[in-house]
């Protein structure tokens, strides 16, 4: 390995660092503009835009490209790295299992099991579906709070979609009558069989 190639690899480090920073900044501008256009008021809270996943993916892809470029530039033999690569692939597969499950369950949820605006109940929490994405489903609870369920939770636990088929919620209300009331007449009235 020549000194010139090492200097080029170090120079590429700074170039890739700048390119990753540039990509993350461009994505941030795009995401903020799209969220502002969706907002009714045209304003966003400071923590309303989540860029964590996108920043991590951009960094991973950028540094991966730098690693491959440096290995090719410095002519590092790849045969010795095959065992390490296999181990990393297996570890990455186990680490990505939950993310992939959430992704596929999110696709199934968006495919028709529920819609934005449905009222559902899961884990004793009742609310209106506010958002469905590839990782989580967000409910707006009765008290106004937003609760995010991972999509795997909705598949692993039983949830009730209360408004899926009829767009209204059925609520059973027990009705009592006074002691001594004629029960046959009360049943007829409750069914609407008797004229008022």
- Three-state DSSP at 149 gives strand
CA separation for the pair 164, 67 (Å, rounded): 50
Q: What pLDDT shows up at residue 13?
A: 92
Phi-psi region of 97 (alpha: psi -120 to 50; beta: other; left: phi over 0): alpha
Give tens-digit pLDDT for 53-106. Answer: 778 788 889 998 998 888 888 887 766 667 667 777 777 777 777 777 877 787
Q: Which residues contact residue 66 at a Cβ distance below 8 angstroms, ignoring those fewer than 6 apart?
A: 12, 13, 16
CB count in 10 Å sphere of residue 51: 13
Pairing of strands 146-150, 136-141: antiparallel
Phi-psi region of 167 (alpha: psi -120 to 50; beta: other; left: phi over 0): left
C-alpha to C-alpha distances, 87 to 10, 70, 83, 152, 153, nearest whole angstrom:
27, 21, 6, 27, 29
Q: What pLDDT shows up at residue 80?
A: 62
Burial of 150 (0-12, 13-18, 19+ CB in 10 A): middle
Q: What pLDDT shows up at residue 16?
A: 93
Q: What pLDDT shows up at residue 46?
A: 61
pTM of the model: 0.46
CA separation for the pair 131, 137 (Å, rounded): 6
Q: What pLDDT shows up at residue 15?
A: 94
Spans of the chain below 50 pLDDT? 196
Q: What pLDDT shows up at residue 108?
A: 75
3-class SS shares of the chain: helix, strand, coil, % to 5: 55, 15, 35
């Amino acid at each position: 390995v020549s000194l010139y190639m090492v200097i080029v690899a170090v120079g590429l480090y700074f170039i890739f660092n700048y390119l990753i920073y540039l990509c993350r900044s461009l994505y941030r501008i795009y995401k903020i503009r799209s969220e502002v256009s969706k907002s009714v008021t045209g304003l966003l809270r400071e923590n309303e835009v989540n860029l964590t996943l996108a920043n991590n993916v951009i960094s991973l892809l950028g540094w991966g490209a730098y690693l491959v470029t440096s290995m090719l530039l410095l002519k590092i033999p790849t045969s010795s790295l095959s065992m390490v690569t296999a181990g990393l692939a297996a570890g990455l597969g186990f680490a990505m299992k939950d993310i992939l499950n959430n992704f596929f369950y999110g696709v199934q949820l968006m495919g028709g099991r529920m819609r934005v605006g449905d009222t559902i109940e899961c884990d004793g929490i009742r609310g209106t579906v506010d958002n469905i994405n590839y990782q989580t489903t967000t409910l707006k609870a009765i008290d106004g709070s937003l609760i995010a369920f991972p999509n795997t939770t909705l598949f692993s636990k039983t949830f009730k979609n209360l408004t899926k088929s009829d767009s209204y919620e059925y609520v059973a209300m027990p009705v009592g009558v006074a002691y001594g009331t004629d029960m046959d007449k009360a049943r007829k009235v409750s069914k609407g069989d008797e004229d008022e």
